[in-house]
Amino acid sequence: MKTISRRDLLTKASWFGTTFAVGLPLAAKAAEPAQSQLPPATKPSLKVVVTGGHPGDPEYGCGGTVARYTDLGHDVVLLYLNKGEWTDRPSYDPGPVRVAEAKKACEILKARPLFAGQIDGKAIVDAAHYHQFHQLLEAEQPNVVFTHWPIDNHPDHRAISLLVYEAWLRMGKKFALYYYEVSNGEDTLQFAPTHYVDVTAMEPRKRSACYAHASQSPDKFYALQEMVAKMRGLESGHKQAEGYIRHVQSPDFQLPLAS
């Protein structure tokens, strides 16, 4: 006879129950959380913030996971470090186009876009921007934040990873912190996932959200990211998966992540 653990009872009795309803496996390898770590039972959903250096990064790296979260009724914000604009090239200012593309991608994923106000290719990480970014995340009160893995060939990706990390420290490490990959081998490097999310069923929506960034060569970059998703799928036993690295000190909220 199957033993029902305290965790099973808790999950079935609370907002985690929805994860069972659709068969989403939990992060089974994570440690048993203390009850004090669990969100209040009255809170109906998670606040999830997926940060990216540019419009499109969260969609390419985490689009399938975002779709799974929003389908479960969780509140997801895609927080972009910049609007993809190049102010040093006034004759070519794609900012408004990139913003419109980001809004369309968010509509497809049922997420909300948010912009941190920096300039594409000119990311600044200093005391003032640590403060500003901390305030931004503090206002969102996330349960979970996803950000770029910091070993990355793009300075904007590295920048937002550092900004998130500092905010996480200043907020007492109270939200779960996960790292994701984009264009592994071209941008992200040395990425070895600790968690996988099966995104096979979400592939059409993820593809649509990525292709919403029509000005950003989606034929090239989606093909590259799809190779990554298939590789992570091979590793984890799915057709396509998104891989994540959980920060070792991240609180365990029993996220609806694949094992």
Main-chain phi, psi angles of 114, to 5 degrees? -145, 140
| CA distance linking residue 109 with residue 74, whole number of Å | 12
181 binds Zn ion (CB under 5 A): no
Question: What residues are paired with 243 via a beta bridge?
Answer: 196
Buried b (16+ CB within 10 A) or exposed e, 101-111: bbebbbebbbb
Q: Which residue is nearest to Zn ion (CB)?
A: 54
**Residue 91 C-beta: closest distance to Zn ion, Å:** 23
**Residue 158 C-beta: closest distance to Zn ion, Å:** 11
| Number of chain residues interacting with Zn ion (CB under 5 A) | 3
Tell me the longest C-alpha to C-alpha distance in the chain.
70
Local structure of 198: helix, strand or coil? strand
Is 58 or 251 the residue whose CB approaches Zn ion more closely?
A: 58
113 binds Zn ion (CB under 5 A): no
**Residue 156 C-beta: closest distance to Zn ion, Å:** 6
Is 57 or 101 the residue whose CB approaches Zn ion more closely?
A: 57
Is 54 or 206 the residue whose CB approaches Zn ion more closely?
A: 54
Residues whose CB is less than 8 angstroms from the CB of residue 151 and which lie 6 or more positions away in sequence, other chains included: 188, 189, 190, 191
Is 54 or 205 the residue whose CB approaches Zn ion more closely?
A: 54
79 close to 48: Cβ distance less than 8 angstroms: no
**Residue 29 C-beta: closest distance to Zn ion, Å:** 30
213 binds Zn ion (CB under 5 A): no
Is 57 or 242 the residue whose CB approaches Zn ion more closely?
A: 57
| CA distance linking residue 43 with residue 36, whole number of Å | 14
| Interaction residues for Zn ion, span 41-60 (CB under 5 A) | 53-54, 57
**Residue 187 C-beta: closest distance to Zn ion, Å:** 7
Interface residue list for Zn ion (CB under 5 A): 53-54, 57
